[in-house]
Amino acid sequence: MTTAATACMIKLYEERHELEDYQSGVPRWCSGCGDNAILAAVQRLCRDEQLRPEKTVFVSGIGCSSRFPHYMKTYGFHGIHGRALPIAEGVRMARPDLNIFVNTGDGDCCSIGAAHWIHAIRYNMNMTVFLHDNQIYGLTKMQASPTSPKGLKSNTTPRGTCLEALNPLTVTLGVSNVSFVAQAVDWIPEVLYDIVKAAFHHKGFSFVRIVQRCPEWLPTLLEPWLHDPLKVKLLHHEQGLAISPSLAKVYKNQERHDPADLDRARSVAASVDPIPVGILYRNPDVPCYEDLRGTDELRTTARTKAGLEAEFDKFTVWPQESDGVPHRTA
């Protein structure tokens, strides 16, 4: 059965999902953690887009951010450290009919999962990826991560980190087949939601870095950006985001940026102060790997069974007939 055929099944009643239909359990993140704002934005997206819970899956690795699937009343897969992206890619290949989201952290994605991250950009498979970047290993109690600023004192760098922080935006924009890159901050919920929505509607690998606060281990790190609106630069464009009048009154540092301009996107992405917020790059013409491989058919039960049996047959020791020819039973 194809995806199109499945979508044409007759509905016996008008289906409407409320916000509560996507909420599961009580989040165990610290009070003031940016993960709470991200969760609220994503649940709102699911409600506004009326995503069917049984057709939606959240995949994560390990870390504070990776508890995300536990708080969504959808399908979820809590993977191992650094392996969220290959798991999500497997889901995409097997079930092209699903809405796929990935939640990963700066340690989970940019350290142990860095190789998967780079190749996931190349594959450009249709999924929405949120990098929760609090610039520290939070779940394992304050170790420096690849995005920790130079000089940060942590449990693994008591004298301060000696390397400049890795910039997830410039790295992503430097990989071939990149198709969507955006940056948000957890303390501007209006723009965070708009970016989440734009990323979902882009067909391809939508990479959203979300700069978020960690009130437990780095409570003052982002205070200058939080309290000085001029340290945040809002990117706007007809093909990007629109800035509401009320938001424009507060965040007056703005730049008209065409997300089709890759060279300019790389230049904007390199800025740390002020921090750019908005859609940096979008190219809808980059082909998706699953389309190149022709995975438009659902993996039905019969098809899966046939594939498994074909693999098992390669290693089956069959009984011998009297003439020495293997005898296969039906």
Arithmetic mean of pLDDT, 198-211: 98
Arithmetic mean of pLDDT, 218-233: 96
The reply to whether the predicted model has a pTM over 0.85 is: yes
Q: Is the dihedral of CA 290, 294, 298, 304 positive or negative?
A: negative
Contacts of 149 (CB under 8 A, 6+ apart): 135, 161, 165, 221
Arithmetic mean of pLDDT, 164-189: 98
List, for residues 234-246, the tens digit of each pLDDT value: 999 999 999 999 9
Q: What integer pLDDT is reported at residue 324 of this predicted model?
A: 62
Alpha-helical regions (H) of 28-141: 34-49, 84-94, 106-107, 114-123
Q: What integer pLDDT is reported at residue 95 of this predicted model?
A: 92
Tell me the pLDDT band of 1, cut-offs 50, 70 and 90.
very low
**Rounded distance, CA 92 to CA 123, Å?**
12
Q: Is the pLDDT of residue 154 over 90?
A: yes
Q: Is the pLDDT of residue 8 over 90?
A: no
Strands 232-236 and 180-185: unpaired
Q: Going from the N-terminus, what domains does the chain have, and what CATH number goes with each?
A: 17-297 (3.40.50.970)
Tell me the pLDDT band of 305, cut-offs 50, 70 and 90.
confident
Q: Alpha-carbon dihedral of residues 222, 274, 188, 246, nearest 10 degrees?
A: 140
Lowest mean pLDDT among 17-31, 54-68, 94-108, 295-309: 295-309
Q: What integer pLDDT is reported at residue 15 of this predicted model?
A: 82
Neighbours of 287 (CB within 10 A): 12
Neighbours of 292 (CB within 10 A): 10
Neighbours of 184 (CB within 10 A): 27
Residues of the chain above pLDDT 70, percent: 91
Tell me the pLDDT band of 295, cut-offs 50, 70 and 90.
low
Neighbours of 227 (CB within 10 A): 9
Report which secondary-structure segment, H or E, holds 85: helix 84-94
